[in-house]
Structure 1
Amino acid sequence: MISFVVRLKRRAHFIVRRRDAEGRGEFIGTGVRRRRQARQRLGILIAGFSVVFFLIGARLVQYGIADPPTTSSLGSPTVVASRPDIVDRNGALLATDVNMVSLYADPRRIVDADEVVEKLAQVIPNLDWGETHKRLRSGTAFQWLKRQLTPRQQAAVLALGIPGVGFRPEKRRFYPGGATASHIVGHVNVDNQGLAGMERHLDQQGLSDLRAAGMTGDTPLEPVRLSIDIRVQNIVREVVATAMTTYKAEAAGAVILDVDTGEVLAMASVPDYDPNEPSRTLPDGNVDKEYEKGWFNRVSNATYEMGSTFKSFTLAMGLDEEKITLNSVVDASRPIRMGGFTIRDFKGKNRALTIPEVFQYSSNIGTAAIADMVGIEGHQQFLAKLGLLSKMETEMPGVATPTQPRTWKKINSVTISFGHGVATTPLQTAVAAASLINGGSLVPPTFLRRSREQAKLLSRTVIKDKTSADMRHLYTWNGLKGSGRSAQVEGFNVGGKTGTADKVINGRYANDINFNAFVAAFPMDRPKYVVLSIIDAPKTGEHGGRTAASTAAPMIKSIISRAAPLLGVQPRFGSPNARYSLSDY
C-alpha cells in the first residue's frame, strides 16, 4: 500500500503542502516549484558575479590613479632617489633627473640562458655576451642586465616576451649644457651618486647619508642655485678651447671672480668632458685617454708656478710693510748672483727703476730687492696671509694643496718673489689678486650664490686700504703701458699682470716650454671682477710669440669684450689713470 502511494506521488504533477493556521491547504505543481528554485539560484549567481566584477573594477581604478612604483619587489640594490636640480644664478637648468628603466633578470626563472642572450643582443647594442650569460646562470634572485635603457629598447625587449626578465624604474642624471660647465657641476655614477664637482658636494652635505637611511624618494627637492652664469661660462669655455687649439697648447683655462662676494661667475678648463658620458670607452675597451685627462680641472685641482703674476703680491707686500712707496726707486742695473745662481731680467733696462717701472717691465731684479727688504719670515707670513701657501677652502671637492720649500732660505725668498719655487692653484691666485684690488679683504671663493653681507662676515682684512689703492694704480699702469696692453678692451679699463714661467719637466726647468698666465681686473676705475687665464705649453701665440703677453693676455681680452656686457658692466670712457680708495666702492 505504501509503495503504491509513493509511485503515485512520483507520477503526480503537484505536491500537497501543509495546511496553514486556518486549516487551508495548497496544491503546487512540481514545475512551478522548480522554476522558482531556478530563479533563486540564478539571482544568487548574478549577485555573486556582480560583487566579483565590482571588486576587480575597483582594484583596476586604484591601480590606474596610483603613482607608478619606484622599486621592485625583488631583493635588489639600494633604492635610487631623486637628486635636486642644479641651476645657475639666473635659474637656467644645469642638471636634472630623468625617469628611466633598467633591465634585470631573475636567473632562477631563466630556462635557456643562451637563447636569452641571443635575443637581447638583437635589441641592445654592445651587450657583453660573456658577462650577461654568467649572470643569467648565477642562480641568484636578482641580476642587472642593462642599466638605463631607452624607451625604444624597452619596447623591443618587451616584444621578445622573455620570461624571467623585467624592468625597474630608475633615475638618470641629465646635463643640458653637456661639457660647458662639466668641471663645476661634476657628474654622477649609474646609481645617481655624485662623483665630482658640485654633484659630489651635494652628497658630502648629507644627501648620500639620507639616501642610505632610506629617507629620500621621488619627492622633488629644492633646486641648488650656483654662482655661475651659464652665458658667461659658455663664453669662457669657448675662448679657452679656441686658445688651446690656436696656440697648439696642452691645456688652457680661465676663471672669473666677483671681487666683493667671492662668487665664481665662470670657470673652465680644457680638455674637459661630457658629464652625460663621463666613462666613455674606446672600442678596444681601454679608457679614452683624452676623456681621462678631461676629468682633471686645472684651475682648482692643479698647482703651478704662476710666474710673474706673483710680483703683484711681492710689490703689495713691500707697499703694505711700508718698505717702499710708488715713488721709490730700486737698483736693477746689474744681475743678482746668489747661491751659484744668476738672476737676470728678461729684456732688462739695466738701470734704476721706479716701482711702477718694476711692475711694467716685470723686473726680477727689482722684485727680488723688494722681497729682500721685507725679509724671509715676513715674506712667508704675507703669502700665508693671502692664502697662497695652504689648501683653499671652498665647496669644490678635490682642491689641490700648494707646495713650498720645507725650509725658506734667502734664495727661496728671492725666486718666490717673481713666481718660482711656490706652486699654487690658479683659482687661489685669482682670489689673492682680488684682495689686492677690492680694498684689502680676502674673501673665500664660492660656487654658490652669496650676498655682499654674507661675504663681509666671511672676509678678513689682509692689506691696508692705501696698499689696495696703490695696487689698483699699478694694475692700471701695466694695462696701459706694460704687458697688459694685449688684454686692454676699450671702455672697460682692464689692468693686470702677466706671468711667463718656465715649465718644470722631470724636476728641471725647460727653457723652451712655458706655463703662461694673466691675472686681470676690470673696470680698474672701480674694480668688480678678477679674470685669470692660463695656458700650458703653447707652441705659438699672437705674432709668433709664446709669452703670456702673446697667449694668456689675448684670452683675457676676448673674455672681457664678450662677457662684460652680460655681467652688467657699462663701458666708461676717459682717463682710467686716477687713484681710488675704499669709499669709492
Structure 2
Amino acid sequence: MRLSSAPGRTAEQAAGKQEHPIRLTGERIGHGRQARSRVLITILCFAMLYALIGVRLTQYGLESEGTVASIGPADKLMASRPDLVDRNGEVLATDIRTVSLYAEPNKIVDPDEAIERLATVLPDLDVRTTYRKLSSSSRFQWLRRQLTPRQQSQILALGIPGIGFRPEKRRFYPGGPTASHIVGHVNIDNKGIAGMEKFVDGQGLGDLAAVGLTVDETLEPVRLSLDLRVQNVLRDELAAAMQRYQAIAAGGVVLDIHTGEVLAMSSLPDYDPNNPVEALEKDRLNRMSAGTFEMGSTFKAFTTAMALDSGKVRFTDTFDARKSIRIGGFTISDFHGKNRVLTVPEIFIYSSNIGTARMADVVGIEAQREFLTRIGLLTRLETELPEVATPTQPKVWKKINSITISFGHGVATTPLQTAVAAAALMNGGKLIEPTFRPRSRDEAAKFAEQVIRPQTSEELRQLMRMNVEQGSGRRAEVDGFRVGGKTGTAEKVVNGRYSSKVRFNAFLSAFPIDDPQYVVLVIIDEPKPEEGKHYATAGMNAAPTVGAIIRRSAGFLGIKPVFGNGEAVAGLTY
C-alpha cells in the first residue's frame, strides 16, 4: 500500500519532530549568556565596593592622627601638648593615651544597680554624686577621668547600658619630682597650671583650647635650658643636706653667667607632678623664685661691688671696725670681730658687718637704693617661669635701713635673682635676665645691660676667691676648679624679733673663678648643727653642699679641672 503526503506539506514539515530540539538549544544558550553577565556584574559591584572600602581604609591609615574639630563642652577631647625636653633631648614631660568613664543618663535603666556594679571596680566612687549624675536629664556626664587599662577592662565586663569610655590624654613626667618646680604640672583637662607647662599654654596652646579647638597631633617638643644630669646632682645633694643638717627646706640653682640659662634649679620639699595634689601642701613652695628671703651676708658682695664701683672706695682702703655701731636703739656688731681697722678684702673675708656698714655710709642711701635696683635685686624678676615673687623693701629708706641692708637684713629678695645679680658681678658687669629656654651668648648679648665696670667685676672675683682660700667659704673648695664664694647666715624673724637660734643660710659661688662660667647658689632653711659640732652657720653647711654639687656636676658642664701645672686633665670621667 502506498502512502501519500497531505496536500501542501513539505518534506521539512513532514520532519517536524526535528524543529523543536533546535529551538530549545538556542534559548538555552541565550539564558546562559544572561546568567554569566549577571554574575560578572555582581562580582564587579562587589569588587568595586571592596576596592572603595580598601581605598578608604588606606586613606585613614595614611592620615595623621591629628584632627581639628569644634566640639561641645560635654564631648571635648583633650588637646595634645608638646613634649618638654631638657637641653640634651631627655624627656621631662609627655602625653600618654588613656580613657575616661562617662555615662549617658537617658540610657541608664537603673541608677542604683549601675552604681552598685561600678563600685565593685571603683570602690572609692562617690555614691551620692554619681547617683545625682545618673538620675539627671542630661545626655552626658563624666564619672571618672583617666582610668587604668585594668579598670576599663573590668568595667567593660560589667556590661552596664549607658556607660562608655572616651579616649583622652594624660600628662606623664618620667622624672617624677626631679624638676617639678620648673616643669610644673597640668590639671585634669591637661591644661598647664604651673611652671613651664603654664608658660607653654601662654604661648597660644591655651587660647586654642579655650575656643573649643583641640589638636590631636604630634607637636614639636619644647626644649628647656635644663641639663637633667646636673638637675639630678643638685636635687640629690640638697636632699642629703636637708637630712644631714635637719633643715626644714633647701634650694639651689646652677646658672650660666654668660647666657642667663638656668641649668638646674631645685627647691625642697618638692612634689611629684604625676600626683599634682601634693603641690597644694604649704611647704611645697618654689622657694627659689616664688619665695623671698633676707639673704644675709651674701648681700655684702653687692655692697662691696657698689662701693668699689662708685669710685668713692678703693680696693686698698681701710675702715674702722674697732667699735660697734649704735643707731636708733640698735647695736651693729661683728660675729667674730677683729676689733681693729680692716682693709676692704679683710672686711669681705671676715664678713664684717661694721666695715660693710661704713662702706655703705660712704656711698649714701639714695645711691645704695639706686645700685640695688640697677642690679635687679629690688624689682620683680622677668623670666618664663610664672611663679616669681616681688622683692620687699622699706617704704622709706632711713640710715638704719641702709646699714642693715648693707649686710643683708631689711630687704627680702628671691634666691634666683640673687644668683642673677651675682652673675653680673662675675661676668664683667653685664646683667642678663635668666631664662629656662636655651640661649646662645650672642642672643644674650643683645639685651645684656652693663651695670658695673669690668674692673669692679675683676676685683669681686678676687675677693670671692680669697674668701674660699682664707675665709668662711673654705669648705666649698674643690681641687682643680678654683671656687670663689660668699657665705650668708641670716637670722630669721620669730614672733616679730630676730632670733639668733633660727637661721637662713646661703652660699653664693662662682667657678672657675679665674674665668667664671657658672654661678651656684645654695640655701638651707633652719639647719641644725651636725652631731659633735656647735655651729650651724653657712660655712658649715651651705658651703660644703656647694662644693659637693660642683665636684659632681663640673664634668657634665664641660669644665675640666686644672691643677698645679695649670694644665687641664683630659679624659677625666665623672
Q: How far off its partner does 1:443 sit?
A: 0.6
Q: Does 1:426 align with 2:418?
A: no
Structural RMSD (CA)? 2.8
User: Over residues 543-578 of structure 1, what are the superposed CA-to-partner deviations in whole Å (9 max), with x where a residue is unaligned?
Assistant: 3421111111111011011011111111112499xx
Alignment of 1:201-216 (within 5 A): 201-214=199-212, 216=214
Q: Tell me the secondary structure at the aligned position of residue 510 of structure 1.
A: strand
- Work out the CA distance in 1 between the residues paired with 2:249 and 2:51: 65
* 1:404 counterpart (372, 377, 393): 393
- Work out the CA distance in 2 between the residues paired with 1:457 and 1:393: 16
Q: How far off its partner does 1:347 sit?
A: 1.0
- Residue 395 of structure 1 corresponds to 384
- Residue 364 of structure 2 corresponds to 375
Q: Does 1:247 align with 2:245?
A: yes
Q: How far off its partner does 1:101 sit?
A: 1.2
- Work out the CA distance in 2 between the residues paired with 1:117 and 1:203: 37
- Residue 333 of structure 2 corresponds to 344
Q: How far off its partner does 1:400 sit?
A: 0.2
Q: Which amino acid aligns with 2:201?
A: D
CA separation of 1:157/1:58 partners in 2, compared to 1, >3 Å: closer, same or farther?
A: farther
- Work out the CA distance in 2 between the residues paired with 1:133 and 1:44: 59
Greater than 3 Å deviation, 4+ residue runs: 25-30, 32-65, 67-75, 213-216, 541-544
- Work out the CA distance in 1 between the residues paired with 2:188 and 2:230: 30
Q: Does 1:446 align with 2:435?
A: yes
Moved more, 400-409 or 237-246: 237-246
Q: Which amino acid aligns with 1:477?
A: M
- Residue 414 of structure 1 corresponds to 403
TM-score by length of 2: 0.88
Q: Tell me the secondary structure at the aligned position of residue 565 of structure 1.
A: coil
CA separation of 1:125/1:566 partners in 2, compared to 1, >3 Å: closer, same or farther?
A: farther
- Residue 554 of structure 2 corresponds to 564
Contact 1:256 1:265 in 2 (8 A): yes
Q: Which amino acid aligns with 1:573?
A: F
CA separation of 1:315/1:303 partners in 2, compared to 1, >3 Å: closer, same or farther?
A: same
- Residue 525 of structure 1 corresponds to 514
Contact 2:491 2:500 in 1 (8 A): yes
Moved more, 463-472 or 502-511: 502-511
- Work out the CA distance in 2 between the residues paired with 1:26 and 1:303: 115
Q: How far off its partner does 1:42 sit?
A: 11
- Residue 278 of structure 1 corresponds to 276
- Residue 467 of structure 1 corresponds to 456
Q: How far off its partner does 1:61 sit?
A: 7.2
- Residue 82 of structure 2 corresponds to 84
User: Over residues 171-197 of structure 1, what are the superposed CA-to-partner deviations in whole Å (9 max), with x where a residue is unaligned?
Assistant: 111111110000010011111100110
Q: Which amino acid aligns with 1:540?
A: P
TM-score by length of 1: 0.87
- Residue 97 of structure 1 corresponds to 95
Contact 2:424 2:430 in 1 (8 A): yes
Contact 2:73 2:212 in 1 (8 A): no
Q: How far off its partner does 1:63 sit?
A: 5.3
- Work out the CA distance in 1 between the residues paired with 2:296 and 2:208: 45
Q: How far off its partner does 1:43 sit?
A: 8.6
Q: How far off its partner does 1:241 sit?
A: 1.1
- Work out the CA distance in 2 between the residues paired with 1:106 and 1:216: 23
- Residue 509 of structure 1 corresponds to 498
User: Over residues 67-91 of structure 1, what are the superposed CA-to-partner deviations in whole Å (9 max), with x where a residue is unaligned?
Assistant: 6797898862433111111110111
- Residue 232 of structure 1 corresponds to 230
Moved more, 60-69 or 144-153: 60-69
Q: How far off its partner does 1:125 sit?
A: 4.5
Q: Tell me the secondary structure at the aligned position of residue 520 of structure 1.
A: strand
- Work out the CA distance in 2 between the residues paired with 1:50 and 1:108: 45
- Residue 348 of structure 2 corresponds to 359
- Work out the CA distance in 1 between the residues paired with 2:125 and 2:60: 34
Q: Does 1:321 align with 2:319?
A: no
User: Over residues 402-433 of structure 1, what are the superposed CA-to-partner deviations in whole Å (9 max), with x where a residue is unaligned?
Assistant: 00000000000000000000000000100001
Percent identical residues: 57
User: Over residues 350-403 of structure 1, what are the superposed CA-to-partner deviations in whole Å (9 max), with x where a residue is unaligned?
Assistant: 100011110011000000000000000000000000110000000000200000
- Work out the CA distance in 2 between the residues paired with 1:355 and 1:573: 29
Q: Which amino acid aligns with 1:400?
A: A
- Work out the CA distance in 1 between the residues paired with 2:321 and 2:152: 75
Q: How far off its partner does 1:65 sit?
A: 6.2
Q: Tell me the secondary structure at the aligned position of residue 119 of structure 2.
A: helix
Contact 1:308 1:499 in 2 (8 A): yes
- Work out the CA distance in 2 between the residues paired with 1:296 and 1:421: 22
Q: Does 1:307 align with 2:296?
A: yes
